């Protein structure tokens, strides 16, 4: 091994304080640039992928793979190359990355259109892979160089790791609040390129900070961080993989019910990074004892909702509990990582294991779980493992009879009670069992094995009603988990994704064509279709989003319908007469095109009397369908007196201001109506209708409940610039 590797770097070229400032600035800025690009690039990809949450989960996996490659590069370079070679190779890499600047979205090969995961990975790799790789390698490499400077902090340079996470955290928090709403993607790309140039200059200053000299004493390679807990490669791997999987699972849960976009991507990721900052800080300000106490408490809302107590938990409260649970669980794992960190001479290996663990966790959620599990089982599994990784607060060895058998027996007894409960009392008994388990888990908090076993039992028990009455059909793909359920009290079949219904059909022969869910004849959609029919302007209708096909039974008999649906599973279920017969009963000759509705509509040659926009995946909002460019496409495909009607029902986000501002910007007239009537058959819904000529909408405005939308803010969304932060509904009501 070359003698320079074990040597120190002279700091006589720069004062010690300046050396630490330069290195801190380099690592901080590398993280800012990395985590700025992280939400920026997938946001550009979303319009091509239909706004699905899986786009971000796949992107997370890609970023974790890039981090692993960067840390591997650093490990190999610092292990076998002298300092001068390290400098030369890394300088060449930073210069090579310039060829990919400014970051831009490449066109994916046509053959990848049917392989969305590979399509996302291709665009990320070609468009941003090289700069991200150079940035990911910089933080561990610069930290290694700093540990050889002879600086007084060189023996424990992990504060630089905290600086890296602070930079990433700052970039993530700034993105949805300051960057996304005010700076377009093209301008962001240019600013990012300027930032990369500043970063390269600071790295040059790091290189000029010193040169190798004699070796300095180093702490033992086997010593854990502050002597608290000896480390092992397998434990490092596990402590990194579990919170990474939990991060992806948490993000999927949130974006499935709200919207796939940077705001709801970066909040979980920012909290995840914050746990690294707090865990690796020189002075730990968050006591582990408090976190261990709060984690079981944060589990309680999840258990209550899982056992059918949705009516007890408000929607935002559940979102908050989910992200808090991620924060507490990740902090426990990352604090144990920090406590087991080795001396600086093994820092590259340590980071390599963290990156590998992160990639394993992300890959499990993005690739393995969708292929293995038919439901989103990876999230509860990661939670159980996170609980199992808690440090034990009760001394002694694991007792299988006490720590495992007792929670399992309690779970078996609960399942037996549920199976013996009459159908009309199952919901009440399930709720009682859920409350008992929520309280019981807090009591088991001192022993991680008992707590993990009890949590696993709770998850399994919550599945008992579904095992007794399984879905009529259930399929999972890139776009999520879609189920067909039978609702016995109302004698209807439902299509659901996550917590939201995609429509339902009454099974009685005399009610099969009745409009249900969001499309009631007495609701906003019913008003619009009745007006169009009365005007004789409902001959050619396009619908972006199929669902159960309910709207096929609306409009005059002679209407010609074209449906655009991005999810082939939805098409398959809607066309299956065992589940839904709207299409077969009312529009057997309807055109059904599979793909992103905006892209497919742009290719249509004909013009339509009415375009129905109802393409929300669960409650998630595909933002690219609500931009100025999207509405330019819709109106280009409308007849002169045509209308666009948009279902914007969402319990988290109020989209009225965006559509009002967009209508004013293009000189359209927009009306809105909120229908509060709700039950299992008819859902509360909010709709907006637009037209070029106000006279076209006069009959709609004359109906009860409709109001003219007047913009009160300049919130015109474009493909280049949009943001949800200003539209959040802080009083979204109870989860349903």
Average pLDDT, the chain: 81
pLDDT for the residue numbered 6 = 38
Q: 231-263 burial string, b = 16+ CB within 10 Å, else e?
A: beeebbbbbbbbbbbbbbbbbbbbbbbbbbbbb
State CA 372 to chain mean position distance: 20
Angle between helices 185-207 and 16-49 (to 10 degrees): 150
pLDDT at 96 over 80: yes
Strand (E) or helix (H) holding 577: none
| Band of residue 448 on the pLDDT scale cut at 50, 70, 90 | confident
* CB 164 within 8 Å of CB 280: no
- Cα dihedral sign, 151-155-158-164: positive
pLDDT at 397: 59
Q: Region 178-204: what's the mean pLDDT? A: 90
Question: Is it the case that residue 564 has pLDDT exceeding 50?
Answer: yes
Residue 274 or residue 680, greater confidence: 274
What number is the average pLDDT over the span 225-241?
Answer: 72
* Residue 276 contacts residue 345 (beta carbons within 8 Å): no
Q: Inform me whether the pLDDT recorded for 428 exceeds 90.
A: no
What are residue 242's phi and psi, to 5 degrees? -65, -50
**Most trustworthy range by pLDDT among 115-119, 194-198, 462-466:** 194-198
Q: Which of 202, 225, 208, 205 is nearest to 28 (CA)?
A: 202
- Residue with the bigger pLDDT between 107 and 198: it is 198
pLDDT at residue 219 greater than cutoff 50 = no
643: β partners: 610, 691
Structure tokens at 299: 């589990």
Residue 411 has pLDDT above 70, yes or no: no
Confidence check: pLDDT of 584 > 80: yes
Q: 355 versus 531: which is more confidently predicted?
A: 531
Q: What is the reported pLDDT for 581? A: 94
Whether the pLDDT of residue 591 is over 90: the answer is yes
Q: Rounded distance, CA 651 to CA 731, Å?
A: 8
Q: What is the DSSP letter of 623?
A: G
Q: Which residue has the tokens 């794992």?
A: 333
Mean pLDDT of 379-401: 78
Question: Which residues is 504 bridged to in the sheet?
Answer: 494
Query: What pLDDT is attached to residue 344?
Result: 67
Every domain of the chain and the residues it spans: 7-388, 400-468, 482-726
% of the chain surpassing 70 pLDDT:
78
Looking at the predicted structure, is the pLDDT value of residue 418 above 70?
A: no
Highest-confidence range of 227-241, 412-426, 650-664, by mean pLDDT? Answer: 650-664
Contact 243, 605 (CB under 8 A): no
pLDDT band at 105 (very low <50, low <70, confident <90, very high): confident
Reply yes or no on whether the pLDDT at 222 is more than 90.
no
Tokens 């700052």 identify what position? Answer: 170
Q: What's residue 455's pLDDT? A: 82
pLDDT at 224: 45
* Domains 7-388 and 482-726 belong to one CATH topology: no
Q: Which residue matches tokens 């550009």?
A: 44
Residue 616 pLDDT > 90: no
Q: How many DSSP H helices and E strands does the chain contain?
A: 24, 14
Residue 218 has pLDDT above 60, yes or no: no
Token readout for 99 is 């060829």
pLDDT value at 308 more than 50: yes
Q: How many CA atoms lie within 13 A of 535 on its CB side?
A: 20
**Regarding beta strands 500-506 and 560-565, do their DSSP bridges make them parallel or antiparallel, or are they unpaired?**
unpaired
**Residue the block writes with tokens 């000029």:** 208
Does residue 552 surpass a pLDDT of 80? Answer: yes
**Residue (of 128, 124, 168) closest to 31 by Cα position:** 168
Is the pLDDT at 461 greater than 80? The verdict is: no
User: Rounded distance, CA 157 to CA 236, Å?
Assistant: 18
Where is average pLDDT lowest: 68-72, 423-427, 547-551, 646-650? 423-427
| Of 439-453, 674-688, 720-734, minimum mean pLDDT range | 720-734
Tell me: pLDDT of 217 over 50.
no
Q: What integer is the mean pLDDT of 570-580?
A: 94
pLDDT at 734: 35
CA distance 175 to 180: 6
- What's the half-sphere exposure (Cβ side, CA atoms, 13 Å) at 385? 19
Q: Note whether 162 and 277 are within 8 A (CB).
A: yes
Helix (H) or strand (E) holding 485: strand 480-487
CATH class of residue range 7-388:
mainly alpha
11 or 321: which carries more pLDDT confidence? 321
What is the predicted pLDDT for the residue at 104?
A: 85
What pLDDT, on a 0 to 100 scale, did the predictor assign at position 420? 64
Instruction: Tell me the pLDDT band of 598, cut-offs 50, 70 and 90.
Output: confident
Average pLDDT over residues 468-497: 87
Nearest CA-CA partner of 468 in 415, 412, 407: 415
Model confidence, pTM: 0.78
What percentage of the chain reaches a pLDDT higher than 90?
32
What local confidence, expressed as pLDDT, does residue 258 receive? Answer: 56
Rounded to an integer, the average pLDDT of 310-316 is 63
CATH fold for domain 482-726 = Rossmann fold (3.40.50)
Residues near 185 by Cβ (< 8 Å), separated by ≥ 6? 40, 43, 44, 719, 720, 721
**The most confident of 20-34, 78-92, 479-493, 576-590, by mean pLDDT:** 576-590
The predicted model gives 234-253 an average pLDDT of 91
Measured distance CA(250)–CA(248) in Å, rounded: 6
Angle 316-612-56 from CA coordinates, rounded to 5°? 45
């Amino acid at each position: 091994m070359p003698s320079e590797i074990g040597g120190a770097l002279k700091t006589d070229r720069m004062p010690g304080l300046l050396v630490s400032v330069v290195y801190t600035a380099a690592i901080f800025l590398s993280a800012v640039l990395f985590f700025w690009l992280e939400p920026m690039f997938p946001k550009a990809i979303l319009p091509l992928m239909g706004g699905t949450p899986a786009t971000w989960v796949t992107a997370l996996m890609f970023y974790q793979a890039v981090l692993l490659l960067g840390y591997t590069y650093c490990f190999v370079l610092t292990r076998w190359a002298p300092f001068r070679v390290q400098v030369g190779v890394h300088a060449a890499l930073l210069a090579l990355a310039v060829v990919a600047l400014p970051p831009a979205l490449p066109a994916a090969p046509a053959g990848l259109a049917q392989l969305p995961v590979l399509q996302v990975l291709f665009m990320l790799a070609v468009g941003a892979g090289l700069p991200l790789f150079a940035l990911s390698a910089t933080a561990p490499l610069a930290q290694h160089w700093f540990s050889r400077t002879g600086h007084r902090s060189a023996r424990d340079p992990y504060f630089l790791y905290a600086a890296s996470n602070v930079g990433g955290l700052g970039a993530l928090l700034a993105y949805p609040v300051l960057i996304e709403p005010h700076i377009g993607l093209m301008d962001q790309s240019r600013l990012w390129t300027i930032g990369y140039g500043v970063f390269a200059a600071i790295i040059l200053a790091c290189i000029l900070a010193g040169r190798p000299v004699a070796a300095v004493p180093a702490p033992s390679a086997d010593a854990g961080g502050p002597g608290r807990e000896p480390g092992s490669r397998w434990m490092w791997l596990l402590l990194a993989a579990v919170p990474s999987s939990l991060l992806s699972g948490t993000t999927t849960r949130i974006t499935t019910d709200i919207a796939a976009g940077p705001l709801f991507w970066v909040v979980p990721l920012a909290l995840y990074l914050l746990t690294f900052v707090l865990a690796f800080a020189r002075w730990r300000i968050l006591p582990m004892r408090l976190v261990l106490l709060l984690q079981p408490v944060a589990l309680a809302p999840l258990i209550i909702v899982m056992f059918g107590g949705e009516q007890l938990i408000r929607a935002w409260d559940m979102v908050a509990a989910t992200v808090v649970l991620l924060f507490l669980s990740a902090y426990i794992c990352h604090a144990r990582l920090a406590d087991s960190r080795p001396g600086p001479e093994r820092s590259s290996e340590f980071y390599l294991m963290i990156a590998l663990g992160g990639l394993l966790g992300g890959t499990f959620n993005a690739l393995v779980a969708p292929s293995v599990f038919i439901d989103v089982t990876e999230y509860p599994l990661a939670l159980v493992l996170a609980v199992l990784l808690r440090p034990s607060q009760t001394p002694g060895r694991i007792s299988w009879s006490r720590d495992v058998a007792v929670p399992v027996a309690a779970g078996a007894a609960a399942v037996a009670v549920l199976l013996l409960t009459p159908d009309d009392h199952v919901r009440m008994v399930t709720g009682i069992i859920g409350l008992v388990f929520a309280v019981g888990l807090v009591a088991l908090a001192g022993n991680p094995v008992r707590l993990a076993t009890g949590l696993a039992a709770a998850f399994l028990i919550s599945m008992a009603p579904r095992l007794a009455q399984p879905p009529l059909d259930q399929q999972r793909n890139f776009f999520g988990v879609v189920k067909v359920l039978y609702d016995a009290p109302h004698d209807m079949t439902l299509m659901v994704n996550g917590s939201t219904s995609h429509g339902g059909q009454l099974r009685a022969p005399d009610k099969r064509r009745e409009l249900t869910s969001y499309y009631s004849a007495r609701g906003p959609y019913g008003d619009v279709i009745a007006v169009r029919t009365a005007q004789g302007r409902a001959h050619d209708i396009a619908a972006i989003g199929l669902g159960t096909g309910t709207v096929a039974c609306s409009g005059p008999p002679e209407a010609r319908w074209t449906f655009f649906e991005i999810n082939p599973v939805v098409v398959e279920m809607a066309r299956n007469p065992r589940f839904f017969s709207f299409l077969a009963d009312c529009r057997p000759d309807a055109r059904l095109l599979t793909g992103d509705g905006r892209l497919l509509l742009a290719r249509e040659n004909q013009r339509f009397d009415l375009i129905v926009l109802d393409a929300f995946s669960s409650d998630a909002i595909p933002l690219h369908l609500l931009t100025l460019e999207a509405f330019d496409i819709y109106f280009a495909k409308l007849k002169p007196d045509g209308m666009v009607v948009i279902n914007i029902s969402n319990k988290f986000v109020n989209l009225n201001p965006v559509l009002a501002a967009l209508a004013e910007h293009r000189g359209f007239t927009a009306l809105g109506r909120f229908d509060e009537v709700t039950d299992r058959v008819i859902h509360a819904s909010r709709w907006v209708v637009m037209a070029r000529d106000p006279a076209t909408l006069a009959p709609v405005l004359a109906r009860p409940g409709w109001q003219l939308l007047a913009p009160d803010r300049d919130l015109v969304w474009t493909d280049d610039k949009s943001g949800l932060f200003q539209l959040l509904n802080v009083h979204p009501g109870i989860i349903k």
